[in-house]
Structure 1
Amino acid sequence: MAMAQHLRQGLPLLRRALTSDTLTAGHRSASIKAFIPTLTNQEFSRNYAAASAPKEQKIKVPLTMFGVSGNYASALYIAAVKANVLDKVESELLTLVEASKRSPTFSQFMKDLSVTADTRMKAINDICAQAKFADITKNFLAVVAESGRLGHIERIAQRFAELTMAHKGEIKAIVTSVIPLPPEEEKELKETLQDIIGHGKKVKVEQKIDTSILGGLVVEFGQKVFDMSIRTRARQMERFLREPVNLDSH
């Protein structure tokens, strides 16, 4: 009960920290820090209930992010790391995003700003209760719902996933092909990418299907794009064939 009360008390601080795009880095950091102590667990509260204030655990965000989605994702990351529920929160956010993709009605509801804050809050609380989401996820989504930012939740989840991957030392490689890669080819590609980036980080492969590339592969990771698709090769060949032939070059 005390834990739930602490969480509720922290909501206004989180809301003020995140709903303004014009917060300076210093003000945003101070507001987030004010929210984070409300997310400590009961054991922490018991052990440090003495008159002297506890030494605050310093959590560093592994990537610098900007904008609304970046602010929300960064604050949630700090809270989740402090409570040691990073993987659980990431999974729950992705579950909500996937549910919205499968339900056009739910997706429209999240984007409809004409829906009252009370209605949004009630719907999100009901969903979180049924899904048995962690308290941090539930209260975070309540803040997002109340501030009318549910339409940004997919982008927030993406930014949060970027933070969790950086936290784990992972790099996501997006591999686009016409059909799913056979396991042996995926394994070989993953090993090749691992050799390229070195062994300080771990490659995580995400496959995408796009028949418009006609064949071959498009591999994206970090800031690099390796386009080995038949579509791109055909366009390159087309440009080459359209170039005028210089008969005087011989």
Structure 2
Amino acid sequence: MASEAPTASPNTSIASGPAVGHASGLAQRYALALLELAKDRKEVDRVATDLDRLFALWREDAGFRSFVQDPRLDAGSQRRGAFAILERAGIAGEVRNLVGVLIANRRLGALPQVASAFGQLLAEQRGQQTAEVATAHPLTDVQRTQLTARLTEAGYSNVKLVERTDPSLLGGLVVRIGAKLFDSSIKSKLQRMQYAMKGAA
């Protein structure tokens, strides 16, 4: 299958630039297009804030996650529903255009991967370290603050969290920074217990 480049309808502007799993090449291209457009317009902070708010909505609202991933919806239904949500959240401009392009290309389901890839690209350009955090349930603001503080204590300063939910973890969390992996998930603890029991048998 040939690789797909982001395309836009005449009313969108994103194409003027070149469970969340790892970002695909496709998601990376959309994210890079959005980042380059934001830089051209000197609106990086505003676009990043809008996309963070949309990503947080996706993480925290099961109904919105279901809507984004529902393959039965046609483009018109996706556009009406998504734009109504964006309007209520006060999200417009480039991020709204991004959502429109994803819908036009039947790629709305890639929204969380695009948001994650954007955060990683921005962190890299700003010299930040990226910590990929997987949890069974979305982090609260308090948990996010506590985790950032723990990472700072461990020597990882100026860290940007890139979050995803993975219900199979059951509880706890898994944090990856570069080649380092910290796994305190319940799933991992249960697996270690099972291995220990097999060894004792």
Same fold (TM over 0.5): yes
Normalising to structure 1: TM-score of the pair? 0.53
* Mapping of residues 85-104 of structure 1, within 5 Å: 85-104=43-62
Distance 1:191 1:167 in 2: 24
RMSD: 4.3
CA 1:157–1:231 in 2, change beyond 3 Å: closer, same or farther?
same
> 1:190·1:205 contact (CA, 8 Å) conserved in 2?
no
Question: Could you tell me which amino acid in structure 2 is paired with residue 149 of structure 1?
Answer: R
- Cα separation, partners in 2 of 1:121 and 1:224, compared to 1, 3 Å: same
Counterpart residue identity of residue 10, structure 2: Q
Secondary structure of 1:193's match? coil
Counterpart code for 2:112: E
- Checking the alignment, whether the CA contact within 8 Å between 2:116 and 2:162 is kept in structure 1 is no
Which residue of structure 2 aligns with residue 246 of structure 1?
Answer: none
Q: How far 1:226 moved relative to its partner?
A: 4.7
Matched residue type, 1:69: A
In structure 2, what is the Cα distance between the partners aligned to 1:160 and 1:81?
12
What amino acid sits opposite 1:223 in the alignment? A
Which segments of 5 or more consecutive residues in structure 2 lack a partner in the other structure?
1-7, 136-141
Counterpart in the other structure of 2:64: 106
Name whichever of 94-103 and 119-128 sits farther off: 94-103
1:203 aligns with 159
Match of residue 120, structure 1, among 78, 84, 94: 78
Give how far 1:90 is off: 2.4
Distance 1:87 1:107, change over 3 A: same
**Residues 1:224 and 2:186 are matched in the alignment:** no
Counterpart of 2:28? 70
Give the letter for the 2:12 counterpart: L
Q: Which has the larger radius of gyration?
A: 1
Task: Figure out how many residues of one structure are paired with residues of the other and give that number.
Answer: 178
Give the aligned partner of residue 147 of structure 1.
Answer: 105
CA–CA distance in 1 between the matches of 2:51 and 2:10?
22
Looking at structure 2, the residues matched to 161 and 134 of structure 1 have their Cα atoms a distance apart, in angstroms, of: 18
Aligned to 1:190: 152
Percent of aligned positions that are identical: 23
- Which residue number in structure 1 is paired with residue 118 of structure 2? 160
Given candidates 165, 169, 178, the residue that maps to 2:127 is: 169
